[in-house]
Amino acid sequence: MGYPNQPHQRETPVLSRYFGDAEARSLEGWRKRGGYKALEKALGMAPADIVNVVKESGLRGRGGAGFPTGIKWSFMKPGDGKPHYLCCNADESEPGTFKDRELMRWTPHALVEGCAIGAYAIGAETAYVYIRGEFTEPLYWMEQAVKEAYAAGILGKNAMGTGKRIDVHVHKGAGAYICGEETALMNSLEGRRGNPRIKPPFPAVSGVFGMPTTINNVETLIAAAPILMNGADWYKKMSLSNPKSTGTKLFSVCGNVQRPGTYEVVMGFPFKEFLYDLCGGPPHGRKFKAVIPGGASVPIQTLEEAEATLMDYEGFVAQGSMLGSGGVIVIDDGQSMVSVIARIARFFAHESCAQCTQCREGTAWTTKIMERIRDGQGTIEDLDTLLDIAEQMTGKTICVLSDSCAVPVVSGIQKFRNEFEALIQGRRFHPVIAAVA
Amino acid sequence: MTPDLVGGLESPDYASHDRAAHDPYVPVFTGDVKRQLDELLARYPTKMATLLPALWIVQRERGWVSEEGMVEVADLLELTPAYVKGVVTFYTMYHQHPVGKYFIQVCTTSPCGICGAEDVVKAFLRHTNTGELGVTSPDGRFTVIEVECLGACGFATPVMVNEEFIESVTPEKVPDLLARLA
pLDDT digits (tens, 9 = 90+) for A207-223: 999 999 999 999 999 99
The residue in chain B having the minimum alpha-carbon distance to the alpha carbon of residue A336 is: B114
pLDDT band per the 50, 70, 90 thresholds, residue A437 = very low
Mean pLDDT of A225-243: 97
Q: B88: burial class by Cβ within 10 Å (0-12, 13-18, 19+)?
A: buried
Label the pairing between strands B102-107 and B142-147: parallel
Contact B110 A194 (CB under 8 A): no
The 8-class DSSP code of residue A206 comes to S
Encoded amino acid at B130, one letter: T
Mean pLDDT of A376-402: 97
Mean pLDDT of A186-203: 97
H-helix or E-strand spanning residue B87 = helix B81-90
Q: B21: burial class by Cβ within 10 Å (0-12, 13-18, 19+)?
A: middle
pLDDT of residue A435: 45
* Mean pLDDT over the full length of chain B: 91
Mean pLDDT of A318-336: 97
Our CA-based measurement puts residue A195 at a distance from the nearest CA of chain B, in whole angstroms, of 9
pLDDT band per the 50, 70, 90 thresholds, residue B118 = very high
The residue in chain B having the minimum alpha-carbon distance to the alpha carbon of residue A259 is: B154
pLDDT digits (tens, 9 = 90+) for A294-304: 999 999 999 99
Question: Cβ contacts of residue A437 below 8 Å, gap of 6+?
Answer: A285
Confidence check: pLDDT of A153 > 50? yes
Contact A174 B43 (CB under 8 A): no
Contact B43 A169 (CB under 8 A): yes
Percent helix, strand, coil in chain A (nearest 5)? 45, 15, 40
Mean pLDDT of A99-104: 97
The 8-class DSSP code of residue A86 comes to E
Could you tell me if B165 lies within 8 Å of chain A, comparing CB atoms? yes
Could you tell me if A313 lies within 8 Å of chain B, comparing CB atoms? no
pLDDT of residue A333: 95
pLDDT band per the 50, 70, 90 thresholds, residue A403 = very high
Quick one: what percent of chain A has pLDDT higher than 90?
Answer: 95
Helices B31-41 and B51-62: angle between axes, nearest 10 degrees: 160
Contact B8 A140 (CB under 8 A): yes
Asked if A328 contacts A96 with a C-beta cutoff of 8 angstroms, the reply is: yes
pLDDT of residue B10: 64
Mean pLDDT of B106-110: 96
Between CA A27 and CA A107 the distance in angstroms is 10
**DSSP secondary structure, A322-385, as one string:** --TT-EEEEEETTS-HHHHHHHHHHHHHHH--S-SHHHHHHHHHHHHHHHHHHTT---HHHHHH
Q: Which of A139, A175, A296 sits opposite B91 (nearest CB)?
A: A175
pLDDT digits (tens, 9 = 90+) for B137-180: 999 999 999 999 999 999 999 999 999 999 999 999 999 999 99
pLDDT of residue B139: 92
Could you tell me if A267 lies within 8 Å of chain B, comparing CB atoms? no
Confidence check: pLDDT of A329 > 60? yes
Q: Which of B49, B77, B151 sits opposite A93 (nearest CB)?
A: B151
Between CA A119 and CA A160 the distance in angstroms is 14
pLDDT digits (tens, 9 = 90+) for A245-270: 999 999 999 999 999 999 999 999 99
pLDDT digits (tens, 9 = 90+) for B2-46: 456 776 666 666 555 554 455 689 999 999 999 999 999 999 999
Mean pLDDT of A407-412: 97
* Mean pLDDT over the full length of chain A: 96
- Scanning A22-81 for CB atoms below 8 A from B yields none
Mean pLDDT of A322-334: 97
Going from the C-alpha of A270 to that of each of A257, A258, A298, A316, the distances in angstroms are: 17, 18, 19, 11
pLDDT band per the 50, 70, 90 thresholds, residue A3 = confident
Asked if A317 contacts A245 with a C-beta cutoff of 8 angstroms, the reply is: no
Q: Poorest-confidence range of A167-181, A314-328, A414-428, B141-155?
A: A414-428
Quote ipTM for the complex: 0.94
Confidence check: pLDDT of A276 > 60? yes
Confidence check: pLDDT of B48 > 70? yes
Q: Give the 3-state secondary structure of residue B92.
A: coil
Mean pLDDT of B96-117: 96
Between CA A45 and CA A163 the distance in angstroms is 14
Q: Which of B8, B45, B113 sits opposite A343 (nearest CB)?
A: B113
Mean pLDDT of A331-344: 96
Asked if B121 contacts B79 with a C-beta cutoff of 8 angstroms, the reply is: no
